[in-house]
Each structure stands twice: as structure tokens, then as C-alpha cells.
A and B are shown apart, each in its own frame.
Chain A
Amino acid sequence: MSGQASRALAFVRRADIWLPKVVVAPSFAASLFFVYGFIAWTVYISFTRSGILPRYEWAGFVQYVRLWNTPRWYVALENLLIFGGLFMVGCLVIGIFLAILLDQRIRAEGALRTIYLYPMALSFIVTGTAWKWILNPTLGLERVMIDLGFTNFQFDWLVNREMAIYTVVIAGVWQSSGYVMALFLAGLRSVDDEIVKAAAMDGAGPFRTYVGIILPMLRPVFLSAIIVLAHLAIKSFDLVIALTAGGPGIATDLPATFMYAYAFQRSELGLAAASAVMMLVTIMAVVVPYLYSELRASRK
């Protein structure tokens, strides 16, 4: 009998050696195929002359040469720099500022936090639709200001080639700054109370306490906030589509909308693939060093 029991146990143990691998295998295979395989395919296509249909003859860097000779790509890159830079700075400044204000033992903290963060639950399409209406050149904010007595007020950024990209920044910051607030508020709350007390003992006022002592302690929060925001900026697609559809003309094109236009509207697979690869490279340049340092830190 005991022999039977031990045999049953042995069976369970043997099954348990391969079961975990079998269970993980489908997901891992999917990841290999749909992530790595697809990236490889896209990278390969970017080295061909594919147009409407993929072609598989190796053509070297021809698409990259074309890409970097396309004026629209430079528009997209310039916009990414403007949008990405202002979006990140805007979200960080507002987010940190609000987090510090909310850290002052405010009675209505819970309600305020909920209000500041709810845009994060919305689709960028909804955000874009709402702000498109608010920024409407005649019926929107402009009319509100005229109604208030500023009769010369003019606000046409949405249809102004020079200024349209800033409307994307406004809507983007509105949507994502609450997220940065939540990250930093959690960070502030994780700081040992006694540090704050020690600073009070040392006579540091609120400004010096935050800027001199607490914020420098939140370096990891800065890092992850910057990574998340950079990631959001580089991937930004829906917001632009809903707010300006890349326009007026191509004035608010970003790499993501550029890639989409060339892939699905102009049927330039090769060029679209090349631009997608450029996006991937950019994100990896931001994320890989971060992940590497995170993993090293967690291993310590």
C-alpha cells in the first residue's frame, strides 16, 4: 500500500516537472511569434521595396534613405520633440506640484485625487473629441472669453498650422498629469515621517524640505514617471487623430500617425515599416537602460 502511495506521489511529482513548462509554453510561443517574429518581419520589410504588397527581395537601406529624405518625416519628428518635451515637462510640473499640495493633510484629499486622476480612465479619443470642441475656434473657449468681455480675444490654435501641435500638448497634459500626481503622491507618502520631522527640527521650511530633501529621495519615481511619459509621447496616435487628425494639413503629424498613414492610406509598406522600426529604436533607447538598471537594482 505504501508502495502504491509513493508511486502515486512520484507520478504527481513527475507531472509537476513538465506541467509548468507546458502551461507557460503557449503564451511564450505567442510572445515569440507575435512580438519577436513580427518585429523581425517588420524589420525585414523595412529593408525591401515593399509597396502595396510585401516583397521579400533584400534592398538594403533604400527605405531608410527615403524616410530621411521625406519632409513629412521631419515634420513628424519636430512635432514629437515639441509635443514630447512640453508634454513631459507639463505633466511633471503639474503632477509634482499637485502631489506636494495634496501632501499637506488636506481634508478633501480623496475627492480631489479622484478628480485629478479621472481623465486617465478616458480614451484618448474621448479626450480628443472633448478638447476639439472646447478649442473650437469660434464656438469654444474663444466665445467664452468674448462673452466675458475680452472682445478681442482670439483663439484659433486648432486650425493654426504653427500652433496646432500645442493643442495636442494641452489635451495630453490634461489627461496624463493626474497620473504623475498619483505616482508622486504615493512616493511622498512612502517617505519616512521621521525624515520630515527631522527636517522640521533642523528648521527647514516647506520649500526647503521638499526641494532639498524629499524630492531628491524620489529619484526612482522621477525615473519611472519619465519613462512612462516618454513612452506615451512616442506612441501618441489616438489623441492626435481625434483632436486634429494630423492637421491642419500635416501640421500635427507624429511618427505614429506618419507610420499609420503610410501603411494603411498610402500603402507604402516598406517606408511605413522603416518608420515603425525608428519608433521601436527610440523607445528601446529610453527603456532598455532603465529596465537594465531596475533589474540590477532588484537583484541586489
Chain B
Amino acid sequence: MSARQIHGIVRATSPLNTFLRLLLFAILGLFALYYLMPLFVMIATALKPLEEIRTGTLISLPQEPTLEPALRAWDSACVGVRCEGLKPYVWNSMAMVIPAVIISTFLGAINGYALTKWRFRGSDLIFGLMLFGAFIPFQVVLLPMARTLGILGMAGTVPGLVLVHTIYGLAFTTLFFRNFFVGVSDGIVQAAKIDGAGFFGIFFRLMLPMAPPAIVVTVIWQFTQIWNDFLFGVAFTVGDSNPVTVALNNLVASSTGVKEYNVDMAAAIIAAVPTLIVYVFAGKYFIRGLAAGAVKG
């Protein structure tokens, strides 16, 4: 008998209960407004000409909606001295996030597989030591990482950021896949071994085809984390190689000329759109990743 076939416990129907039910919906509705308000303000502001911002209020709807601020934010607003909008930085972020997600997910998958289905002496210890990397405040590795990137000739480059995000993402990706493969029956691996399959054969032909749920969760988690990262971006890149979060902050913080709030908001929306799209279309997996991430923070 499925647990959620429950309709409800009989409660005395009194005016008080009806009132409480209404109150419940009212409170939930108010909180929905509270969470949606900043998004609404961002969109409304981004669609207003500057004139309207000066005369209207945050929550007034745009009277003459315009895409001009969005276009300016995209390709002509000034970030520092460069006036090409966020466009080049969005490409930087893409160039950073795609390889970093693919590499760290793949390595996490094979690590998780090796550490669960081919346990060896010390494999639990190795996992424990690697997991620790998920808990450290990254401030503690900023200085040596900056020096190391300099020595490798990757300081201030997008490949440098790919390297950093791959390395510090490994603890999470390995954790996600380990947790997934722990739940896969060892019997499947034993049977495949008896059938003569080896380490890689089992991985590519049996385990990976079973793992899409873990892959989706990991890819979404890594994509969101890396896209939204600011610390590594601001510490290890300069100017042209900034990811979009850093560029957004620079755009908003620049104090030259008139403050164009509508362009700021449009830029913020541009930086938020990729992760919001992922959230809207794969929210279920996003939440699953958060729940798994709760183990580590």
C-alpha cells in the first residue's frame, strides 16, 4: 500500500479550521511574493528606460518596455575600459564551464566506480582524504594556486580556470558517483567478471549506461557551481579572461558616468539565465544534487 495514498485525517470542520486553511494559503502566497519580488524587480527594471526608473518605483510596471538596456548589457556596456557588454565574458564562462564539467564528471564517475566496485586496501581512506577537499574554505588554497598557475604559465587564462574548477570539483563528483555506485549490486560486477569482462569493459558497457541519474545530478551540480563561481574567477583572471560573474560585478561596480540601473539588472539577468534554465528544466535533479550535497556543504 503506497504511503502517499492518504487523503487526510478527519478533522472537525469548524469555522476556525476553514480560517486556518485560508491563512495557510495566504502565508504561502506571501512567501511566494517575497521570493519572486527580486526577480520581478530585476526584469521590470531591465525593461524600463532610465527616465522611468527616475520617476517610477521598483515595483511599477514598465510603461514603455524596451529591450535597449538588455542589448546594451549584452554587447556595448562598459566593463572596466572595455565596452563590449557581457558577451565576451559569457563566452569565457562557457569556455570554462563546459570542459571543466565534462572532465570532472568523467573523472568522478570512474573514481566512484573504482572506489566502490574494485575496493582495494586503502580505498576507503583514499575516498575519505579526497572528500575532505569538499569542506575546505577555498581561501586556504588561493595563494598557492595563484603561484602554481603562474609557474604553469596559466595565470589569468581560461584554461587555468578549467584546471582549478576540475580539481576542486573532483571531491563532489567522486562523492556523487560513489554514492550512486554503492547502491548498484556487486553481483552485477561479479557476473560480468565471470563473463570475462575487465575493469574498463564493465565500466563503459555496464556501469555508465546505468548511471544517467548520477550523471545528470553531477553535471547540473558542477555546471551551477562553476558558472556561479566568483572567488576563483576574481582571484585568477584579469580583464579579458574574466568569467561572467566577475564581469557583472565589475559592470555594476563601475562608477563612471550615469548609473544605468536598467543595464545592471539586464546584465544580472544575463548572468543568471543559464543556471535558471537548468533549474526550471531539471529542477528535480537540481534538488537531488542539493540533498546529496547536504552531506558535505
Beta-carbon contact of A121 and B294 below 8 Å: no
Q: Find out whether the CB atom of A125 lies under 8 angstroms from the CB atom of B294.
A: no
Q: How far is the CA of A241 from the CA of B41 in the complex (A)?
A: 21
A219 to chain B, nearest CB (A): 14
In angstroms, Cα B25 to Cα A106, docked, is 8
In the assembled complex, the Cα of A117 lies from the Cα of B39 at a distance in Å of: 13
Whether a CB of chain B sits under 8 angstroms from the CB of A218 is: no
Flag the segment in B63-71, B94-102, B124-132, B206-214 that touches A. B124-132
Whether A150 is near chain B, meaning CB under 8 Å from some CB there, is no
Chain A residues near B158 (CB-CB < 8 A): none
Q: Interface code A118-138, partner B: CB below 8 Å = 1, 0 otherwise?
A: 111111111101111110100
Contact partners of B172 in chain A: CB under 8 A: none
Question: Which residues of A lie under 8 Å from residue B294 when comparing CB positions?
Answer: 183, 224-225, 228
Instruction: Let me know if A124 and B58 touch, CB within 8 A.
Output: no
* B256 beta carbon closer than 8 Å to chain A: no
Contact B28 A124 (CB under 8 A): no
* Contact call B135/A123, Cβ cutoff below 8 A: no
Bound: A121/B273 CA distance, A:
10
CB distance from A46 to the nearest CB of B (A): 10
Chain A residues positioned under 8 Å from B148 (CB to CB): 38
Q: Is the CB of B248 within 8 A of A125?
A: yes
Q: Is the CB of B145 within 8 A of A124?
A: no
Contact with A along B55-88 (1 / 0, CB 8 A): 0011100000000000000000000000000000
Q: How large is the interface on B (under 10, 10 to 19, 20 to 34, 35 or more residues)?
A: 35 or more
Interface residues of B: mostly helix, strand, loop or mixed? helix
Q: A34-B141, A123-B245 are in contact. Are A24 and B41 (CB under 8 A)?
A: no
- Tell me the complex Cα distance, A178–B286, Å: 13
Secondary structure call for the A interface = helix
- Distance between Cα atoms of A36 and B140 in the complex (Å): 10
Known: A120-B290, A133-B42; 20 extra A-B contacts, CB below 8 A, are A16-B198, A16-B199, A26-B107, A27-B111, A34-B145, A42-B140, A42-B144, A45-B143, A98-B28, A112-B28, A118-B39, A118-B279, A134-B41, A139-B53, A139-B58, A143-B57, A228-B293, A228-B297, A259-B142, A284-B135
| Nearest 9 interchain pairs by C-beta | A123-B228, A20-B118, A121-B279, A231-B297, A238-B230, A20-B114, A38-B141, A38-B144, A19-B199
25 A–B contacts, CB within 8 A, in A order: A23-B111, A24-B111, A31-B170, A34-B141, A41-B143, A104-B24, A112-B28, A115-B32, A117-B287, A118-B35, A120-B286, A123-B275, A125-B245, A127-B38, A130-B38, A133-B42, A144-B59, A197-B9, A235-B139, A245-B253, A255-B139, A260-B142, A277-B140, A279-B137, A287-B297
Residues of A with Cβ closer than 8 Å to B? 8-9, 12, 15-17, 19-21, 23-24, 26-28, 30-32, 34-39, 41-42, 45, 54, 94, 98, 101-102, 104-106, 112, 114-127, 129-134, 136, 139-141, 143-144, 147, 174, 178-179, 182-183, 186, 192-193, 196-197, 200, 224-225, 227-228, 231-232, 234-235, 237-238, 241-242, 245, 255-256, 259-260, 263-264, 269, 272-273, 275-277, 279-280, 283-284, 287, 291, 294-295
Give me the interface of B with A, judged by CB distance under 8 Å.
Answer: 3, 6, 8-9, 24-25, 27-28, 31-32, 34-39, 41-42, 45, 53-54, 57-59, 107, 110-111, 114-115, 118, 120, 123, 126, 128-130, 132-133, 135-145, 147-148, 167-168, 170-171, 174, 193, 196, 198-200, 224, 227-231, 234-235, 245-246, 248-249, 252-253, 261, 264-265, 267-268, 271-272, 275-276, 278-280, 283, 286-287, 290-291, 293-295, 297
